[in-house]
Amino acid sequence: MKYKTYCKPTWCPACPDFLIWKCFDDVLSQLENEGFSSKNFVVVAGIGCHGKIFDYLNLNSFYGLHGRAIATAQGIKLANPKLNVVCFVGDGDTYNEGIEHLIFAAKRNADIKVFVHDNRTFALTICQYTGTSPKGFKGSSTPEGSIDEPFNPLEIVLSAGATFIARAFTGHFDHMKKVMKEAILHKGFAFVEILQPCITFFDMTPIYKERTYMFESENVESKEKALEKIKEWDYKNGNKIPIGIFYKTKKSTFEEEFFKSSQF
């Protein structure tokens, strides 16, 4: 791996986070071959198992507070719009503590890329439920099963104003790499939910292998079609799970509008 640091990975053996790390390293190598410079990339990570990727990437990086990585990423991009800012977050980190930052970054069309490692549990703190955990989820904070219904984060960011929305699964590596690259190349707020099963506390791998399917939208700029496809899976365990790019459109970014209206 080209951007590997000297740090020894401490993820659980065979954790799908390794695949996300490898995927991003491969994509960045491809982009450098196409004229991008890794020196212009900044990685921002939150707190959680996903956040360890910060230690393993030899790039400009910043560790955000729990739930605050997206806000930090926006600040970095606004300070230097020439940078490519990539934000790695977890489902607990960004759908619970940081949900307001996610919504407002999407609303503003901030030119940052958000990759969510969604294992549907707070794995680092030993298995509490998150916004995408299914009803009945049994963990350390809900030993009798969670009574909450999960929400659909793709539906939320679509209504908020995100201009690129996608889902990938670590079990389909080449597809995940394609989606990640397109997200990075998109100008505007790019949101990619990566289904990343926690093999220690909540292993959804067999279900995802059985029920995920790749699709390509015929009208990627239609919000109506995107919403219809997004709603195919309600984060319960009975439906097929589409993975691919749901929505992609062009719109001026927050940074462009800010500097257009400011006196700087």
Which domains does the chain possess?
A: 17-261 (3.40.50.970)
CA distances in angstroms from 185 to 74, 220, 253, listed in the order given: 17, 16, 14
The span from the CA of 25 to the CA of 29, in Å, is: 6
Looking at every residue in the chain, the average pLDDT score rounds to 93
pTM score, whole prediction:
0.95
Short-list 178, 153, 159, CA closest to 223: 159
Q: What is the pLDDT of residue 263?
A: 57
Q: What is the pLDDT of residue 72?
A: 96
Q: What is the pLDDT of residue 236?
A: 78
Neighbours of 160 (CB within 10 A): 17
Asked whether the predicted pLDDT for residue 237 surpasses 80, the reply is: no
Average pLDDT score over residue span 115-144: 88
Average pLDDT score over residue span 104-118: 97
| Beta strands 190-195; 113-118: pairing state | parallel
For the stretch 134-183, pLDDT in tens is 898 888 888 898 999 999 999 999 999 999 999 999 999 999 999 999 99
Asked whether the predicted pLDDT for residue 250 surpasses 90, the reply is: yes
Asked whether the predicted pLDDT for residue 260 surpasses 90, the reply is: no
CB-based contact 226:159 (threshold 8 Å):
no
Q: What is the pLDDT of residue 262?
A: 67
- 264: confidence class by pLDDT, cuts 50, 70, 90: low
Q: What is the pLDDT of residue 33?
A: 93
CA distances in angstroms from 257 to 113, 118, 163, 173, 184, listed in the order given: 18, 31, 15, 36, 20
Return the structure tokens found at 204: 């959804």
In sequence order, which ranges of the chain are alpha helices (DSSP H)?
Answer: 17-33, 53-56, 69-79, 91-92, 99-108, 153-160, 173-185, 205-211, 223-230, 254-261
DSSP 8-state code for residue 136: T
Return the structure tokens found at 167: 């889902």
Q: What is the pLDDT of residue 217?
A: 87
Amino acid 215 reads F
- 52: confidence class by pLDDT, cuts 50, 70, 90: very high
Average pLDDT score over residue span 247-252: 97
